[in-house]
Amino acid sequence: MATSFIALGSNLGDREILLQAALRYLAGLPYTQVVRSSRWQETEPVGGPPQGKFLNGVAEIQTGLSPQNLHAHLQQIERALGRPAVRERWGPRPIDLDLLTYDDIVLETPDLIIPHPRMQERPFVLQPLSEIAPAWKHPTLGKTAMELLAITRGLRKEFYS
């Protein structure tokens, strides 16, 4: 079984209900269990057109699915919860599920990059990740979730070296 972290976000509809539904879908995936999830936090949108605030969180799962199969299931969950397959980049959405990590695998394909290529720049990912896994270490940057969060908040002068 692999440990994976999934970022969850919503800024359309009843955000909390959609996020809870996404967690239930995750728990129902084959060979998968949700180990824990962070609290939801309200955040401002980053990029894209003007839109409402997000609720964001992170879930830790254990899965026997491959990274590619897990990613495909996340996309199916998004569609089941009302996210259209074709959408505006960084536009408003009822649900957003991002595969952040899969064990310490580093993977780059046309459809999937692990670890998520922008997670280290996003406090709305790092804050909930730090809540549930503060000592998790980024496989290429060598920094913990807490260290990366401190960097994004400008509390430390070093960058990703």
Give the distance, in angstroms, between the CA of residue 44 and the centroid of all CA atoms in the same chain: 16
User: What's this model's pTM, rounded to 2 decimal places?
Assistant: 0.92
User: Backbone dihedral region of 16: left (phi > 0), alpha (psi from -120 to 50 degrees) or beta?
Assistant: alpha
Catalytic residue among 24, 36, 79, 96: 96
Segment 62-100, tens digit of pLDDT: 999 999 999 999 999 999 999 877 666 777 899 999 999
CB 98 within 8 A of CB 124: no
83 is catalytic: yes
Structure tokens at 119: 């997670």
Segment 141-150, tens digit of pLDDT: 999 999 999 9
36 is catalytic: no
118 is catalytic: no
The residue among 107, 99, 104 whose CA lies nearest residue 138 is: 104
103 is catalytic: no
Domains of the chain: 2-118 (3.30.70.560)
Where does the pLDDT of residue 161 fall: very low under 50, low under 70, confident under 90, or very high at 90 and above? very low
Where does the pLDDT of residue 130 fall: very low under 50, low under 70, confident under 90, or very high at 90 and above? very high
Catalytic residue among 93, 103, 104, 122: 93
